[in-house]
Amino acid sequence: MRTAFILASVSTTSLLASGAWAQNWIDLVNQTSTRLVAPTSMVVNDNLEKDFGWGDFDQDGDVDIAVMRKFPGSIQGGFPNLLLMNEGGVLTDRTDEYATDSDEPGYNGFLDATNDREVEVVDVNGDGWLDLVTCTTMSDQVNDILGQPRVYINKGNDGQGNWLGFRFENERIPTLFAKNGSSANPRFCDLSVGDLTGDGYPDLFFTDYDTPETSGTICIDLNGDGDTNDPGECQQSPGESSSKDYDNKFLVNWGNDPNGPGPGHFYDSTNTRMTSSQLASAFGNATFMADMNDDGVLDVVRVNTLTGGQNVATLYNKTEALQGLSFSGPDQAVAGAPYNIDAADLNNDGKMDMVVVDDSKDKFLINTGNGADGFANFTSYTINDSVTEFGNTVHCADLDNDGLADVVICDVDADLPPFCPNSGRRAKIYRNTGGTPSNNMLDEIGQVIPNGSLTSTYDIAPVDLDGDGWLDLVVGRCAGIQIWMNVPPIALSYTYPDGIPTSLVPDEPATFTVQTSIIGGGQIVPGSMKLFASVDGGPFSDSLMTDLGAGLFEATVPATACGTGVKFYVSGDLTNGPVFNDPPGAPAEFYLATAIDRVETVFADDIEGDVSGWLVENASGASGGWEAVVPVGTANAGQPAAPSEDASANGTMAWVTQNGSPGGSAGLADVDGGPHVLTTPAFSLDGQDGIVSYYRWFYCDDAGAVGADELLVEISNDGGASWTTVETVTTNAGDWAYNEFLASAYVAPSANMLVRFTIDDSPNNSVTEAGVDEFHVEALICDGTGCIGDLDGNGVIDGADLGALLAQWGGSGNGDLDGSGAVDGADLGALLAAWGNCP
């Protein structure tokens, strides 16, 4: 029996077609003309403030949108709202059909002139259908039916499965009063929803502001006819009298409480659950609910702007019996001049972070875990590409399907002009570049939407309109509503369920499976799935893969003689795209498999014993150099900086850059200056090829930024006279990472080979750490028999070979048939299975 010894781990390669993605990280195309059906007066140059709420209202599998419309700014003036239903990827105005029902005679739901600043989409009564809750503002001049928040109940389907739309039910939210008990309509600016009490039903939290900075009579030419004489084009922005002053409001869902009217009805908890100081608000501009300290219950985060504690702060919900009955805080996350916020796990560490829109530069806050008080701590990063200017609505969503939440920030201020038709600013779309958090992590890369089409923007809804799995953008501007469709890249993705062969049985072909996945539509062209192979340096020739069905193919690597190699790559065509190769740079890039009889460990060091053969060259005048120690872990901004243990299963030691002290700061023992160079003992691969493997650690808090530090790995075949780069490590893995490579892929194997690891923090402007452990070299051996287990090369596996293997038991040698580093039971089993004459 003969087998291939080495099989690379499963890998995935996604190959993008050329086109817009070559210039932009997402490809957005304006399809408003074919994706929006609504009266022109409602969606083109209406010069109104807009807020979007979205969800599958009619449960047909598509995302629908509710549009709240009001006179711009902190100004009176209500306007009808708009219900856009998704009909086959086309947003269609169905306000008249589905959003005019009301339980109040004389009122018409969305067609009422309410001054709605915000809408939230949530199932308030637990019937499985999404309802709408609105947030009204600046409505002193109207009655409470128009001037107070509303609940629009989703009526679900009739008996024939036809959707019935929404109904405004006035009694769902009781008439609210000012904090002194006086009758007054609120000046709410935002609303968050979530189950604060733990009864399974969502509660409501409103933020309120007082006298706006805008005042007097404000006139805007809404219809663009050159004057402001038309009805509704001039509105008032009055100050607030103390008798009508609100603070924030916490409304509790009655749920199944037997004393209440039923789920989806709310009552004002006044200051019985949150204290008056917790509800205090001089200019409450934004709020969201999230579990900020990972204790299993929702907390409330709110923004207070302009006066009286200008900050973003969290009201922490108590747990167990006190959940929803008592809160701690407000606990400040950041001060400054915050205006709006959104929450997302920006660095995918399982903790909720924030994006803060500020009157100065915008920022994001990384949640670094709880302090001794049980509250979340944050590290603040200013977004480098932001500018010092007003902004407002912000949303976090993964626009490019890379698993990271990107960020859109709109520009029109909620309070101060200029408003419409031109704010003099534009929205920003930031790509989350991942890696260790830094000021560059949110990066505005190119114009994914032309800057001119982002001016004077109130809200942007990231929604998948056409069901292709890619979020599109519905943009609400002074200029109306535009729809930008996210065109997926055309790609053919390859994965290898059983791995990619890196070694071959001499003179025998080898097969492996290729799983394909199509991105962006199209089909694989029949007969195009091929393996291109070059045997022992010859020209590449192709062979068809076998179609196994369901996108799975089988490829065959051709046979070659022992000691020679086969370069190969896979290739396929799509009906709507070009040729897709893996590796992408083929044929200049390729996979390599070498025909061998066995592997033999020629050097192995787990750094647990004498390391005097290693060469350490730490730069003079610098700190943080290489040393072999039991690692002491450090963390920076919630991320592992230095390893807390070695990479060995049973060991304790590793090479690291200046071991820190227990409990010490990451910046006190990291790499400062350099370069610091660690070079292995010499090893021989004379007359044979070999696999070099090791575990490495790398951390840099500027990873991903231009000029950031990196770990350089090089190999030499002339005793260090010259060096060839093997890899440049720039990504923080947060753990020990394994790497292996074929020596001959970089240099001609020789008797005097070295590998070195170089780390440098010049200039000294970052927290940087590195480590190396479990360095191994395994020779690829040709015995001449092409027969596994034939240790003496006589063409027969017999007692002599068995005796030789047993003599090496527990150590290394040519009896290590599977290349594990030790002769053990697996090798004995392989020898006995091959007993007898070689094939």
Q: 458-507, pLDDT tens digit by residue? A: 999 999 999 999 999 999 999 999 999 999 988 899 999 999 998 899 99
The yes-or-no verdict on residue 11 having pLDDT over 50 is no
Please tell me whether residue 21 adopts helix, strand or coil conformation.
helix
Strands (E), 113-239: 116-122, 131-136, 151-154, 166-168, 188-194, 203-208, 216-219, 234-237
Tell me how many domains the chain contains.
4
- The range of the structural domain enclosing residue 624 comes to 601-781
CA angle, residues 430, 434, 435, in degrees to nearest 5: 145
Whole-angstrom distance, CA of residue 304 vs CA of residue 286: 8
Alpha-carbon torsion, ordered 115, 120, 121, 123, to 10 deg: -110
Specify the pairing of strand 90-93 against strand 36-37: parallel
Q: Which two tokens stand for residue 820?
A: 């594990």
Same-domain pairing of 386 and 345: yes
- Sheet containing 338-344, strands listed edge to edge, beginning at the edge strand earlier in sequence: 338-344, 353-358, 363-370, 376-382
pLDDT tens digits along 703-738? 877 788 999 999 999 999 999 999 999 988 889 999
State whether 533 and 566 are in the same domain.
yes
pLDDT at 3: 41
What pLDDT is recorded for position 17?
Answer: 44
Contact by Cβ (8 Å): 32, 472: no
Verify that 423 and 501 share a domain, yes or no: no
Same domain, 310 and 448: yes
Which pLDDT band, with edges at 50, 70 and 90, does 6 fall under?
Answer: very low
Q: In the prediction, which pLDDT does 636 show?
A: 82
Residue type, 553: F
DSSP per residue, 297-309? S-EEEEEE-SSSS
pLDDT of residue 18: 35
**Do 529 and 547 touch, CB atoms closer than 8 A?**
yes
Residues 572 and 443 in one domain: no
Query: C-alpha distances in angstroms, 753 versus 219, 628, 681, 742, 773?
Result: 79, 22, 8, 13, 18
Sign of the CA dihedral with 737 first, then 742, 748, and 753 last? positive
Do 710 and 700 touch, CB atoms closer than 8 A? yes
Q: Tens digits of per-residue pLDDT, 665-703? A: 888 999 999 999 999 999 999 988 999 999 999 999 888
Inform me whether the pLDDT recorded for 770 exceeds 50. yes
Given 737, 758, 781, the domain boundary residue is 781
Distance CA 763, CA 768 (A): 11
Closest CA to 685 of 749, 777, 741, 781: 749
Same domain membership, residue 477 and residue 616: no
Which residue, 455, 486, 517, sits at the end of a domain?
486
Confidence at residue 24, expressed as pLDDT on a 0 to 100 scale: 79
Q: How far apart, in Å, do the first and last CA atoms of the chain sit?
A: 8
* 249-253, 367-371, 557-561, 789-793: the lowest-pLDDT one: 789-793
The pLDDT, as a whole number, for residue 156 is 98
Q: Quick check: is 34 in a domain?
A: yes
**Domain-embedded: residue 132:** yes
Question: Could you tell me the two tokens for 175?
Answer: 């008439």
Percent of the chain exceeding pLDDT 70 equals 96
User: pLDDT band at residue 20, thresholds of 50, 70 and 90?
Assistant: very low
- 789 in any annotated domain: no
**DSSP 8-class letter at 170:** G
> What CATH number does residue 520 fall under?
2.60.40.10
Please give the average per-residue pLDDT across 400-419, as a whole number: 91
Q: Please compute the mean of the pLDDT values over residues 46-51 and round it to a whole number.
A: 96
State the Cα–Cα distance between residues 211 and 240, nearest whole angstrom. 5
**Element (DSSP H or E) covering residue 636:** strand 634-636
456-477 CB burial, b ≥16 within 10 A, e <16 = bbbbbbbbbbbebebbbbbbbb
Q: Which helix (H) or strand (E) holds 428?
A: strand 428-432
The predicted structure's pLDDT at residue 209: 87
The vertex-540 CA angle with 535 and 542, nearest 5°, equals 105
CB 117 within 8 A of CB 459: no
Same domain as 777, residue 743 = yes
Q: Does the CA dihedral 207-208-213-215 come out positive or negative? A: positive
Could you tell me the sign of the dihedral formed by the alpha carbons of 23, 27, 28, 29, in that order? positive
pLDDT digits (tens, 9 = 90+) for 500-546: 998 899 999 999 999 999 988 889 999 999 999 999 989 999 999 99
CA 680 to chain centre: 38
Kindly state the tokens that stand for 90.
């086309």
Mean of pLDDT values over 139-147: 96
Q: Of 194-198, 420-424, 488-492, 822-826, which one has max mean pLDDT?
A: 194-198
- pTM assigned to the model: 0.72
Could you tell me which residues come within 8 angstroms of residue 307 by beta carbon, excluding any fewer than 6 positions away? 282, 283
Give a yes or no: residue 234 inside a domain.
Answer: yes
Residues 589 and 695 in one domain: no
Kindly give, in sequence order, each residue whose CB lies less than 8 Å from that of residue 700, ignoring residues fewer than 6 positions away. Answer: 436, 708, 709, 710, 730, 732, 766, 767, 768, 769
CB count within 10 Å of CB 182 equals 12
Convert the pLDDT of each residue in 267-325 to its tens digit: 999 999 999 999 999 888 999 999 999 999 999 999 998 766 789 999 999 999 999 99
Residue 563 has pLDDT above 90, yes or no: no
What is the predicted pLDDT for the residue at 308? 65
The residues, any chain, with a CB within 8 Å of residue 774's CB and separated by 6 or more, are 605, 606, 607, 647, 648, 693, 694, 695
Contact 164, 139 (CB under 8 A): no
Q: Where among 544, 564, 597 does a domain terminate? A: 597
Domain-located, residue 463: yes
The sign of the torsion formed by the CA atoms of 805, 808, 810, 816 equals negative
Considering the domain architecture, whether residues 516 and 657 belong to the same structural domain is answered as no
Residue 15 confidence class, pLDDT cut points 50, 70, 90: very low
Is 788 part of a structural domain of the chain? no
Looking up residue 736, the CATH number of its domain turns out to be 2.60.120.200
pLDDT per residue over 151-184, tens digit each?
999 999 999 999 999 999 999 999 999 999 999 9
Contact 419, 412 (CB under 8 A): yes
Tell me the C-alpha distance between 390 and 417, whole Å.
10
pLDDT in tens, 211-252: 777 788 999 999 999 999 999 999 999 988 889 999 999 999
Is 563 found in the same domain as 433? no
For residue 551, being part of any structural domain is answered with: yes
Residue 806 — φ and ψ, nearest 5°? Answer: -65, -30
Average pLDDT value for the chain: 92
Same domain, 193 and 339: yes
Residue 72 maps to which CATH number?
A: 2.130.10.10
- For residue 31, which of 343, 465, 645 has the smallest C-alpha distance? 465
Looking up tokens 């490579």 gives 741
Shared-domain flag, residues 258 and 142: yes
Dihedral sign for Cα atoms in the order 27, 33, 34, 38: positive
- The helix (run of H) or strand (run of E) holding residue 518 is strand 510-519
pLDDT grade for 23, boundaries at 50, 70 and 90: low
Q: Is residue 775, in this structure, part of any structural domain at all? A: yes
Q: Which residue has the tokens 């709410």?
A: 188
Summarize pLDDT for 261-278 with one digit per residue, the tens. 999 999 999 999 999 999
Residue 600 has which token pair? Answer: 């033999």
Phi, psi of 213, rounded to the nearest 5 degrees: -75, -30
Residue corresponding to tokens 């709020």? 287
